[in-house]
Homo-oligomer: A and B are copies of this chain.
Amino acid sequence: MITPDSLSLNTATVTRQWNLAQAIDGCLRHGLGGIAPWRDKLHEAGVDNGARMIAESGLTVSGLCRGGWFTAEGALTPAVLDDNRRAVDEAVAIGAACLVMVVGGLPPGSRDLPAARAIVAEGLARTLEYARKLDMPIAIEPLHPMYAADRACVNTTAQALDLCDQLGEGIGVALDLYHIWWDPDIRAQIQRAGKARLLAFHLCDWLVPTTDMLSDRGMMGDGIIDIASYRAMVEDSGFDGLNEVEIFSAENWWKRDPDDVLSEIVRRAEQC
């Protein structure tokens, strides 16, 4: 059972319905313990203003989504690196537990996956260098292999942890059940990660059938992920952060009254 105060709302879950101020109010109204803003919501509110609102709310910030996309311009251009430094600054401004990294897929026009992965490793190293000075943990989010081409070429927890091993202190993983539930090696990799590198844990569900590769994620309980078993794994490894709920759902939850969405999140989490 997950209690409301151990839940965090990732703003993507209500991205079509609420701005940051409304999401903060919603979290408070439903007794959630935290929030995880996407940068678009934070920018819309203004970073200083958003940071002030969050601080005044008393909500924990389980993460800022997201830095990364190191491959977007085919190389680590100043624009890409600057944007990642700004993301670190923003994560610091809102007191986030970590900056979540969606690393980017193949560069435009490229079929060279090893080269993309090399750009990502270098981009993470450069951003980490900056983040360490500001004491902001970097969380690599391995994305489901179906996003390897166009969103993130880090696709398993093992691969993310190999990068962490290579890069040293200050970097860990953000594990989202949607991306990792299928992994036959997940138990061993969560143990390998350990408390220090388990920086975020995201909940949702995998629907059968899944009708859209991007925006058909399920509410906990509507799909086939044995959520409790994965929670036990991260908790056994010492993870004591919030359970962040991130559901992309264009045809269902994004069309509903957001207060109903939060009520349902609270209700479903209690059954996990």
Interface residue ranges of A195-214 to B (CB < 8 Å): 206, 208-210, 213
Shortest CB-to-CB span from A112 to chain B, Å, is 6
Residues of A near any B CB (own CB < 8 A): 106, 110-113, 117, 144-146, 148-150, 153-156, 158-159, 181-185, 206, 208-210, 213, 224-226
Total copies of the chain: 2
Q: Give 18 CB contacts A-B under 8 Å.
A: A110-B224, A111-B226, A117-B184, A144-B145, A144-B146, A145-B182, A148-B181, A148-B182, A149-B206, A149-B208, A149-B224, A150-B208, A150-B209, A155-B183, A155-B184, A158-B184, A209-B213, A210-B213
Residues of B within 8 A of A225 (CB): 111
With beta carbons under 8 angstroms apart, the residue of B145, B150, B158, B209 that contacts A145 is B145
Residues of B within 8 A of A213 (CB): 146, 209-210, 213
Residues of B within 8 A of A208 (CB): 149-150
Residues of B within 8 A of A226 (CB): 111-113
From A112, A159, A224, name the one whose CB has the most chain B CB atoms within 10 angstroms. A224
Residues of B within 8 A of A224 (CB): 106, 110-111, 149
Q: Is the CB of A145 within 8 A of B183?
A: yes
Residues of B within 8 A of A158 (CB): 184-185
- Give Cα distance in the complex from A149 to B223, angstroms: 10
Q: Is the CB of B146 within 8 A of A210?
A: yes
With beta carbons under 8 angstroms apart, the residue of B110, B145, B150 that contacts A146 is B145
Residues of B within 8 A of A210 (CB): 146, 213
Residues of B within 8 A of A144 (CB): 145-146
Shortest CB-to-CB span from A187 to chain B, Å, is 9
Residues of B within 8 A of A150 (CB): 208-209
- Give Cα distance in the complex from A110 to B226, angstroms: 9
- Give Cα distance in the complex from A85 to B117, angstroms: 43
- Give Cα distance in the complex from A18 to B150, angstroms: 34
Residues of B within 8 A of A183 (CB): 145, 155
- Give Cα distance in the complex from A208 to B164, angstroms: 29
With beta carbons under 8 angstroms apart, the residue of B149, B159, B209 that contacts A184 is B159
Shortest CB-to-CB span from A115 to chain B, Å, is 10
- Give Cα distance in the complex from A144 to B146, angstroms: 8
- Give Cα distance in the complex from A117 to B184, angstroms: 9
- Give Cα distance in the complex from A156 to B184, angstroms: 8
Besides A145-B146, A158-B185, 19 new A-B residue pairs in contact (Cβ under 8 A), listed by A number: A113-B181, A117-B184, A144-B145, A144-B146, A146-B182, A146-B213, A148-B181, A148-B182, A149-B182, A149-B208, A150-B208, A150-B209, A154-B184, A155-B183, A156-B184, A159-B184, A159-B185, A209-B213, A210-B213
